[in-house]
Amino acid sequence: MIRPRKAKQDPAYRAGQNAVYALNFFVAAMQTGFGPFVSVWLVSQGWSLTEVGVALSIGTLAGLVAQLPGGMLVDAVDHKRNVTIASLVVIAISALMIAFAPSLPVVWAAQVLHAAGSAVITPAIAALTLALCGHESYSDRLGGNARYASLGSAIAAGAFGLASTHIGQQSIFTITAALALPSIASLLVIQPWTPLPARPDHMATAPRKTRQTKPWTIFSDPSMHVFAACLALFQFSNAALLPLAVGELSQRGQASGYIVPIAIIVPQCVVALASPWAGAMARSIGRRPVLVTGFVALPLRAVLFAFNPAPDAVGVIQVLDGVSATVVGLMLPLIAADLTRKTGHLNLAIGSFGLAGGLGATFSTTVAGWIADRTGAQMAFLSLALVGAAATILLAVAMPETKPRGEARTARAIA
């Protein structure tokens, strides 16, 4: 068998690597179809804002509930491609349900299906990536994954906008479902088990029956709880920032049509540009310095929103959102891989971290809105900045370096 560090010259490995990048691109494009477009479509079908909010909340709650079972499912199967294909089919079906039967019970069911499929596909892609490249090159490959996912989201957002204008809003969801086909085609190219060394460098890539530990043993590691708390605080601080900024501009009549697209596209561009570099640096200098950089950007962004809320400043400030998104998106699966190297329960760890972040994000907008209504938007921004600072301090003080000893210090660029 071919060792990961030599696999770069193997055609099957190269094809698999490119297929993983393509998979990330098309899956991100699919997920973009379930963003704000769902609200616009349902309102156009006569739904009230309350009904739309309930449907979205059902999806959010289902996503939280599905995080741990989704990760455990991916850990429990040896054939990751099969479970990934199944999740893609489920997501495609949910898109078609929203497109062709936008009634209350059908959309509620579609939201649950989408949440369940998403809870599986995220850890499944992480597992496929690890199986293809091994732990030593994992940070580099995650950086490439993030780059292509950002490109997929940005291009899909533009394409869906054009399709909505020229074909109709319903077409967004049929296109979303159709994107499952190139995603599955990408999956069929991947042969994740071939390039692994005879003795895997991560137990997640070994057959399930060879794992000697129970899934819940990963929670005996204090670093799991520290990082989960950091993510919960981070998302509590982060989730409400942009909605609060846009809402404040709207109240002043300054939220022109370009503000929201710019606020979304700028971070995606930063992620696409910086992710490979961040992955290389995580392997070269360690996880902690990169993590701290991404976390520090969050309270700084909140303070800038508090004291410089002008419309023209939003795009510049959102560069910091791209920095944070780059780091957190890369580090969540990478830290999970570091902490489960000997147990193999990678995807349960990813689901646990996703649950922690999701809980933080769930309460963020409600609490920030309550503060803004009573003391003003500036105080809400400063409160979110304090939470972000607390996340950064906790990370710096309590989170150890998780980079495995002996991992190559020289970062390799994404080919």
* More confident: 105 or 268: 105
- Rounded Cα–Cα distance for residues 134 and 131 (Å): 6
Q: What is the mean pLDDT of residues 92-117?
A: 94
Question: Which of the residue ranges 187-191, 261-265, 323-327, 371-375 has the most confident prediction, judged by mean pLDDT?
Answer: 323-327
Instruction: Give the model's pLDDT for residue 411.
Output: 41
Whole-number percent of the chain with pLDDT over 70: 87
How many CB atoms within 10 Å of residue 103? 11
Judge whether 1-205 and 212-404 match in fold: yes
Residue 79: strand, helix, or coil:
coil
Q: Report the b/e string of 227-261 with b at 16+ CB within 10 A.
A: bbbbbbbbbbbbbbbbebbbbbbeeeeebeeebee
**Which of 74, 102, 77, 84 minimizes the C-alpha distance to 26?**
84
pTM of the model: 0.81
pLDDT of residue 1: 32
410 — pLDDT class (breaks 50, 70, 90)? very low
Model pLDDT, residue 53? 79
Overall average pLDDT of the 302-315 stretch = 83
Which pLDDT band, with edges at 50, 70 and 90, does 207 fall under? low
Helices (H) and strands (E) in the chain, counts: 16, 0
Assigned CATH class of 212-404: mainly alpha
The pLDDT of residue 9: 54
Q: Which position has the token pair 């990961």?
A: 4
pLDDT reading at 407 higher than 60: no
Q: What's the CA gap between 306 and 304, in Å, rounded? A: 5
Comparing CA positions, the residue from 117, 140, 152, 124 lying closest to residue 27 is: 152
Q: Are 322 and 262 in contact (CB under 8 A)?
A: no
**pLDDT for residue 77:** 83
The answer to whether residue 312 scores a pLDDT higher than 90 is no
Calculate mean pLDDT across residues 367-379: 87
Mean residue pLDDT across the chain: 84
Three-state secondary structure call for residue 229 = helix
pLDDT at 2 over 50: no
Tell me which DSSP letter residue 1 carries: -
Ranges of each domain in the chain: 1-205, 212-404
Whole-angstrom distance between the N-terminal and C-terminal Cα of the chain? Answer: 22
Confidence label for 91 from pLDDT (cuts 50, 70 and 90): very high
Q: What is the pLDDT of residues 9-65, one digit of tens each?
A: 566 667 778 889 999 999 999 998 887 788 888 888 888 878 887 888 888 889 899
Give CATH for domain 1-205.
1.20.1250.20
Supply angle C-alpha 258, 263, 264, rounded to 5.
Answer: 105
CB 232 within 8 A of CB 359: yes
Taking alpha carbons only, the member of 344, 345, 353 closest to residue 399 is 353
Distance CA 328, CA 321 (A): 10
